[in-house]
Chains A and B, each alone.
Chain A
Amino acid sequence: MSSPLLQVNDLKKHFPVRGGVFSRKSNWVYAVDGVSFEVERGETLSLVGESGCGKSTVGRAILRLFDITGGQVVLDGQRIDDLSPGGLRSMRRRVQVVFQDPFSSLNPRMRVRDILAEPIRNFGLAKSAAELEAKVAALIDTVRLPRDALGRRPHEFSGGQRQRIGIARALAAEPELIVCDEAVSALDVSVKAQIVNLLQDLQREFGLALLFISHDLAIVEHMTHRVAVMYLGKIVEMAGRQQIFTAPRHPYTKALLSAVPVPEPGAIRNPIILKGDVPSPINPPSGCRFHTRCPFVFDRCRTEEPELRSIEGGRWVACHLEALPGQN
């Protein structure tokens, strides 16, 4: 049996922060605190969860944008979290990223043509100048921008157009895995649909795998195979698309899904309002990290941390409840 394309084992990333106003000692932000999952070739795994729960940090760790604090990242059977710069080079082509904030990741002085040509040249993906030009032109068509966009610089585009340049650049390297961090959030529904459909086509044709980080749950529902729900640096539930969206089990997942606005004026919704402040990743709550806001909290939750356990049909949940809500 071949190994999954990406394996993340007990990943931890802690950032140092300055101590409080009166304290000399420095603290740690437990941004990601023991996360494990796998992504198969041709699969989309979505990471969802509250702002600040550590989704982008997981993405950045996989891209080796910093050294991780603990755990392992394994790409195609090979550990990449401790690779030398030389070994990183080939991994850099195989794993690409589309960031949340496209402008800050595009070089403002470069023309779009060169932004797209750079990875093709760097990784030797074109044999001649003509092939390079043809590839660049095909990429700009793929993300539905006009050809004359190639001669312009990033600031001359709208937010959504810049995002598409970022997507084209990621595709240019012909990667096996793309980390999409809010990659389509800035796009209107139609262009979003075009890009999502395109990603799905590439997935079918070339077995492209996606780690899809998004707050847009309707899009996640449309395109994902599996979903991992994060809360304060940990995965609290992981399951297939149908399972998550038709019968969420973890109390946090239920609350999250209930809050999605409906595109219908005057529509009736019954969002589960979470009480209490979002806790700090510096001082995460004891026991279950969700216990300060969970409507089902009981004594054990305050002291003992629930493990991510497997329940029916390939579904994982971290909660002490014997009978999870919605389970019979």
Chain B
Amino acid sequence: MALLEVENLQTHFRTPEGINRAVDGVSFHVNEGETLAIVGESGCGKSVTSMSLMRLIAEPPGKIAGSIRFQGKDLLQLSEREMRAIRGNDISMIFQEPMTSLNPVLTVGRQIGETLRMHQGLDKQAAEARAIEMLTLVGIPEPVRRVREYPHQLSGGMRQRVMIAMALACNPKLLIADEPTTALDVTIQAQILQLMLDLKRRVGAAIVLITHDLGVVAEIAERVMVMYAGRKVEEAPVAELFRSPRHPYTQGLLGAVPKLGSSLTGAARRLAEIPGQVPSLKGRIEGCVFAGRCTLATDLCRQVAPGLEEKGPRHIAACHYARKEAAAA
């Protein structure tokens, strides 16, 4: 049994102009000790997916449907009180925007300590000592001083690391990391990725990693799920996905990654874009969600939505024309 099994997750928002189908029927699983990366265009539903796992979507205007089984229990059936015992303890999350997720009027020590006192029953001193230890682990210099500082006194990258310290403090079984390293320099980033791998080794934690940084994906993920316009469009083991992406969106995404050194050799300095934009999520999309931007689109694509199909070993994609390996047929 997988640690986390998500089936047909649908998270919709009611807005004055209609229903926004931010996540529209997504299924996936994560095994114990595994790292699943979720990638996809801005606005495709990655953060809403992860907030749904934590049940942190405000209802209304949001509405979550489907099932989210964690260690066999459906989180969507739990009471808010039962959910609070899990959040920050068994499942914890590193949020995308640290400044908004940290409390501006509490010192960082208090914020890290609060989780520990609530879930692990540590007293004030023990919680502060553990907070200092966590700040050291995430590479914040002078942790003894920093633990008494407020978020606005820290640099952007330090705030992000405070969030990471909070998320790791209780040794969660499942860590959801939403853009955990965007504000970090590459050296600290390497250190944080190492910490996440340590957590996996020590407590067999599973990680759901959301990131736009395909370098990070290549470095620590085992499997990758690609989302587009609220749906899953491709999923494969990491090496397989980078070597042989099947969905035209994934191909465009990988093709657009700038590599260090690639702009220095004469060639044009314009970055590669995927032309066009994501369709509006209001109103049902007939046919393939990518058809409006796909160079291969045909009438079939515009009329019939392609289902997720096996295209190779453990490799699925939703495209009528994606290449299929004989072995998978």
Contacts and interface: CB of A to CB of B under 8 A. Distances in A.
Interface of A: 15, 17-18, 20-21, 48-52, 56, 100-104, 144, 146, 148, 151-152, 156-161, 164, 181-182, 185-194, 196-197, 200, 215, 217-219, 221-223, 241-242, 245-246, 255-257, 259-267, 271, 274, 277-280, 282
B15 A263 contact: no
Given A194-B273, A222-B271, A188 B253 contact: yes
Nearest to B243: A265
Given A104-B99, A193-B256, A259 B186 contact: yes
B242 A264 contact: yes
Interface string B240-253: 00100000000011
A156 B41 CA distance: 16
Interface in B95-141: 96-100, 139, 141
Top 3 A-B pairs, shortest CB-CB distance? A160-B42, A51-B157, A261-B215
A221 B273 CA distance: 17
B82 interface: no
Contacts of A51: 155-158, 161, 183-185, 188
Given A192-B212, A246-B264, A265 B43 contact: no
Contacts of B217: 263
Interface of B: 13, 15-17, 20, 39-43, 46-48, 96-100, 139, 141-142, 144-145, 148-149, 153-158, 161, 179, 182-190, 212-219, 238-239, 242, 252-254, 256-264, 269-274, 277, 280, 282
Contacts of B142: 280, 282
Given A218-B259, A265-B239, A186 B156 contact: no
A103 B156 CA distance: 13
A194 B278 CA distance: 13
Contacts of B98: 101
A324 to B, nearest CB: 20
Contacts of A280: 141-142
Nearest to A257: B260
Contacts, number: 203
B186 A260 contact: yes
A299 to B, nearest CB: 25
B259 A56 contact: no
A193 B42 CA distance: 12
A104 B212 contact: no
B182 A101 contact: no
Contact of A191 (B13, B42, B186, B259): B42
A103 to B, nearest CB: 5
B47 A159 contact: yes
B157 A159 contact: no
A17 B153 contact: yes
Nearest to B277: A144
Contacts of A279: 141
Contacts of A271: 190
A270 to B, nearest CB: 13
A223 B212 contact: no
Contact of A190 (B188, B239, B256, B261): B256
Contacts of B212: 160, 186-189, 192
Contacts of B96: 159, 186
B218 A267 contact: yes
Contact of A215 (B42, B184, B253, B262): B184
